[in-house]
């Protein structure tokens, strides 16, 4: 994944956290919990927003994003709808994104 390149989201909905710290806390909590289905994205972001007292949003398949910054397992994301935040991201998820060629 290249920082600054435009990607289209091919798979899954992704929670977008306002800070790297909230993304890390949620990733730690999820490690001990069952996975959440794509259809439950709205419910999941509502839960995380209440849990961490902040606004958690998400982006879905067929949306466009740019990875702006990377710090270990976290990437800062800007979506085509203007949402800005952090996601937990492992390289095993590269298949979920496709770089848009010029």
In a domain, 27, yes or no: yes
pLDDT digits (tens, 9 = 90+) for 41-81: 667 777 888 888 988 888 888 899 999 999 988 999 999 99
Look up the domain containing 28 and give its range: 6-99
In a domain, 81, yes or no: yes
Look at 92 and 68; give whichever has higher pLDDT: 68
Residues 85 and 41: beta-carbon distance below 8 Å: no
What's the pTM value of the predicted model, to 2 decimals?
0.78
How many domains does the chain fold into? 1
In a domain, 1, yes or no: no
Q: What is the DSSP letter of 11?
A: S
């Amino acid at each position: 994944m290249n920082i600054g390149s435009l990607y289209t989201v091919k798979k899954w909905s992704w929670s977008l956290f306002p800070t790297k710290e909230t993304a890390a806390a949620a990733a730690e909590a999820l490690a001990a919990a069952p996975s959440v289905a794509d259809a439950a994205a709205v419910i999941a972001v509502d839960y995380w927003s209440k849990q961490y007292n902040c606004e958690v949003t998400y982006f879905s398949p067929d949306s466009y994003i740019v990875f702006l910054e990377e710090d270990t397992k976290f990437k800062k994301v800007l979506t085509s709808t203007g949402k800005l935040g952090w996601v937990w991201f492992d390289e095993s998820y590269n298949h979920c994104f496709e770089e848009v060629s010029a």
